[in-house]
Amino acid sequence: MKRSAKEILVRTGILLLGLCVAHLGVTLFLLSDLGSDPFNVLVQGIYRSLARLTQWPFLTHGRVHVGVSLLIVAVLAFVDRGYLKLGTALCMIFGGPIIDAFTALLEKPLAGAPLPLRAVLLVAGCVILAYGMTIVIRSDAGTGPNDLVAVVLSDKTKWRFSLTRVGVDACFLLLGVLLGGKAGVGTLVCMFLVGPVAGFFLPINGRIIENLVQRLCSAQQKA
């Protein structure tokens, strides 16, 4: 069924809210300095491998991240382009700037934090990331490329999303390490925590978001 402009706007707003929540979690996770998430271990591994094999002056971690994301989008477009929406592009465009903004806000007060506090930041960051990710997914306005891998596999195979996410992250991690990426204890915590937490909140946020969208759109129609 074709969506109204109002519904598209509402769902896009929900996606951006979820993106901010998710990337607050990413920022806390990164500031804990206990390891990168599995997808960025893969990106780091690809970046280091390309750096060893080439002399490309424009090569950076961020550009490789964009390149890998575009490759995922290309593959998903071949598998089922119905998953690619405006929100996928928004996630790619705004993800980095949102992390930069939260980092500028939180880096100074959290600098030099003791290990116990960093451990708390790690766990809190993973939980907040997972929660925000479910808002993005259930907005049904699009999802970031790396998260879409687990979403598509879960939908196509009918496997539970929580287990699918753990499996996808494990593949990212293994391939990244083999290519020269560096993992830490935080990487393992992220791999085993984000999927189950997201699996728990997906149906809850799905119901909340659909009710919210219906209320906002019906209120507009009545007005």
pLDDT in tens, 34-66: 988 899 899 999 988 998 888 777 777 778 888
Q: DSSP 3-state helix, strand, coil percentages of the chain (rounded to 5)?
A: 85, 0, 15
Q: Is the pLDDT of residue 152 over 90?
A: yes
What is the structure's pLDDT at 195? Answer: 92
Number of domains in the chain: 1
Distance CA 149, CA 125 (A): 21
User: Residue 219 has what pLDDT?
Assistant: 60
Query: Using 50, 70 and 90 to split pLDDT, how confident is the model at 95?
Result: confident
Does position 203 have pLDDT exceeding 70, yes or no?
yes
- Confidence band (pLDDT; 50, 70, 90) for 220? low
pLDDT for 204: 96
**Residue 176: predicted pLDDT:** 94
pLDDT of residue 118: 93
First-to-last alpha carbon distance for the chain, in angstroms, is: 22
Q: Which two tokens stand for residue 50?
A: 């390309």
Instruction: Specify whether the CB–CB gap between 187 and 36 falls below 8 A.
Output: yes
Is 152 in contact with 46 (CB distance < 8 Å)?
A: no
Is the predicted pLDDT of residue 1 greater than 70, yes or no? no
Q: What pLDDT was estimated at residue 221?
A: 53
Average pLDDT over residues 78-83: 88
DSSP 76-122: HHHHHGGG--HHHHHHHHHHHHHHHHHHHHHHHHHTT--HHHHHHHH
Check if the beta carbon of residue 129 is closer than 8 Å to that of residue 29. Answer: yes
In the predicted structure, residue 201 carries a pLDDT above the cut 80 = yes
Residue 173 has pLDDT above 90, yes or no: yes
Q: Which two tokens stand for residue 58?
A: 């424009």
Single-letter residue type at 28: L
User: Is the pLDDT higher at 95 or at 115?
Assistant: 115
pTM, rounded to two decimals: 0.86
Q: What is the pLDDT of residue 178?
A: 95
Q: Which of 90, 119, 112, 86 is nearest to 186 (CA)?
A: 119
Give the pLDDT score at 61.
Answer: 75
Q: For residue 151, is pLDDT > 80?
A: yes
Kindly tell me if the per-residue pLDDT of 122 is higher than 80. Answer: yes
Q: What is the mean pLDDT of residues 130-156?
A: 93
Expressed as residue numbers, the domain containing 27 is: 5-222
Greatest Cα-to-Cα distance within the chain, rounded to the nearest angstrom? 62
